[in-house]
Amino acid sequence: MSDTGGQTPHVLIVEGRFYDHIADRLLAGAKAVLEAHGATFEVVTVPGALEIPTAIALADASERFDAFVALGCVIRGETAHYDIVAGESARGLVALGIDRGCPIGNGILTVDTEAQALVRADPTGKDKGGDAARAALRLMQLAETFLVDG
């Protein structure tokens, strides 16, 4: 993570595009929040939720970003694949947050149905993309507070 020193925060949004129509909504919500807070951002895409933690780890090593927003969707299916993808993507993000101190807002939806995902992704609905951006910015603020005061 870079030190913003009171400068404009620069955020990386990593979006899993497995469900494009859901990802579009999550991304719209995250962008709106970052723009409203005056943050600059870049967006990279990966195939799905499982690749998001790796992309964030690679980007974190560059020290170009102050915070990260993880966006994606995992919809329960007929096999155990849902449990693996949902659990391992969350575990990867938590590990990055704890082990490396990455401020990450987790906007990876884990739902039973597409209808649930659409409601949660809608920027005028539950706006989980926007929530993830807000979480990333708040964690970034906390990191700066602890680094400056520590």
Residues forming the active site? 81
Other beta carbons less than 10 A from residue 68's beta carbon: 30
Strands of 104-111's sheet in order across: 40-46, 10-16, 67-75, 104-111
* Cβ-Cβ contacts under 8 Å for 30 (sequence gap 6 or more): 13, 69, 71, 105, 107, 129, 130, 132, 133
Q: Which helix (H) or strand (E) holds 148?
A: helix 128-149
